[in-house]
């Protein structure tokens, strides 16, 4: 007769290669059921975007199949994104498990494009995702996400996010028309950023992606001083000027003890639609070299592509407009890498 202890013993030999521990120790096995020679159980991953999902599932199934008298194994794969440990002196956002800052040292590197498509890619894995636009002077999320509606609030000032493509959003752009310029001094900007951080009714969110303004100024400092950031994604392009500013952003987050989840190199290359030739317009390899220099993960390359630009302009980003494209695949791989990195930070 097959016992639960036999099943657990077999699964205790299956390692998660990223976390370096076995599935039983990591508490990833739930609800073991034995019906004669048939065994079923839940494999609870730390993220729905786990790139090792198939490998872990197959290894767990094979391990139990090797138990004497087992004739069939059914593995139900689910996920439970852990809460970020964060820093205890920061204010937790109610319902939000992890906060991801998307930053760049300078403007014009496609940071908002990466933030938007990262959020959408995470949502496509089944995660609950929010997108916060803290670029107060240059809000672009409403245009890129194809949604224009006024923010609503409760009488006590709690803000309801706006939803599109299964992503909840907040941006000062929802409070303005397309031609209104915000002429605010620093204290007013800090006040609205703090309100967006602590007074939004997000509900249950696995990942809150925060699109930061370029640079290392007041908004960035307000962010890291107010909430416990899980980590930061640094966006750069391959040329030396962008890389120099990206390194400043890395150093800033290191100084305030925010983990760097990795570097994304945007506009890495251009593929001719006629001949298929790849041209590296802005040099090559800079993002990878920077990741090696600062010992942070390199998350991936994003090409220069008309479809990516058109998606942002039309309000239907590439991950939504053409999910099977190579461009969308690049964003999906980056989302998987970010989610995996967060799991390592939280559970290692």
CATH topology of domain 4-79: GMP Synthetase; Chain A, domain 3 (3.30.300)
At the topology level, CATH places domain 96-347 in Rossmann fold (3.40.50)
pLDDT tens digits, residue range 285-319?
677 888 888 888 999 988 888 889 899 889 999 99
pLDDT digits 0-9 by tens, 91-110: 778 889 999 999 887 777 88
pLDDT in tens, 230-261: 999 999 887 766 677 788 888 888 888 889 99
φ/ψ (deg, to 5) at 196: -65, -30
DSSP characters for 52-96?
A: THHHHHHHHHHHHHTSTT--EEEEEEEE-PPPP---TTSPPPTTE
What's the pLDDT score for residue 165?
95
pTM of the complete model beyond 0.75: yes
Would you list the domain boundaries of the chain? 4-79, 96-347
Section 213-223 average pLDDT? 76
Q: Which pair of tokens denotes residue 17? A: 């290669």
Burial (CB count within 10 angstroms: exposed 0-12, middle 13-18, buried 19+), residue 107: middle
In which residue are the tokens 């245009």 written? 143
Q: What is the pLDDT of residue 159?
A: 92
């Amino acid at each position: 007769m097959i016992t639960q202890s036999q099943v657990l013993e077999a699964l205790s030999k299956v390692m998660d290669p990223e976390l370096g521990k076995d599935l039983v120790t990591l508490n990833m096995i739930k609800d073991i059921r034995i019906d004669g020679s048939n065994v079923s159980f839940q494999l609870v991953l730390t993220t729905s975007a786990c790139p090792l999902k198939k490998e872990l599932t197959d290894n767990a199934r094979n391990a139990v199949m090797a138990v004497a008298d087992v004739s069939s194994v059914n593995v139900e794969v689910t996920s439970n994104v852990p809460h970020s440990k964060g820093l205890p002196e920061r204010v937790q956002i109610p319902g939000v498990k992890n906060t991801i800052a998307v930053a760049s040292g300078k403007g014009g590197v496609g940071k908002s494009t990466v933030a938007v498509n990262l959020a959408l890619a995470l949502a496509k894995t089944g995660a609950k995702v929010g997108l916060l636009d803290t670029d107060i002077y240059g809000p672009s999320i409403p245009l890129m996400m194809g949604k224009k509606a006024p923010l609503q609030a409760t009488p006590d000032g709690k803000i309801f996010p706006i939803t599109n493509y299964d992503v909840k959003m907040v941006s000062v752009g929802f409070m303005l028309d397309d031609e209104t310029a915000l002429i605010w001094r620093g204290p007013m900007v800090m006040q609205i950023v703090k309100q967006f951080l602590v007074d939004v009714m997000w509900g249950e969110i696995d990942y809150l992606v925060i699109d930061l303004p370029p640079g290392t100024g007041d908004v960035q400092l307000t962010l890291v001083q107010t909430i416990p950031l899980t980590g930061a994604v640094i966006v750069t392009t391959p040329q030396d000027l962008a890389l120099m500013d990206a390194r400043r952003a890395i150093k800033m987050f290191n100084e305030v003890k925010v983990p760097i989840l990795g570097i994304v190199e945007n506009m890495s290359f251009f593929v001719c639609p006629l001949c298929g030739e790849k041209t590296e317009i802005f040099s090559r390899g800079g993002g990878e070299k920077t990741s090696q220099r600062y010992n942070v993960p390199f998350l991936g390359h994003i090409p220069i592509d008309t479809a990516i630009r058109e998606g942002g302009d039309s309000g239907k980003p590439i991950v939504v407009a053409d999910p099977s494209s190579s461009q969308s695949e690049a964003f999906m791989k980056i989302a998987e890498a970010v989610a995996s990195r967060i799991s390592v930070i939280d559970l290692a």
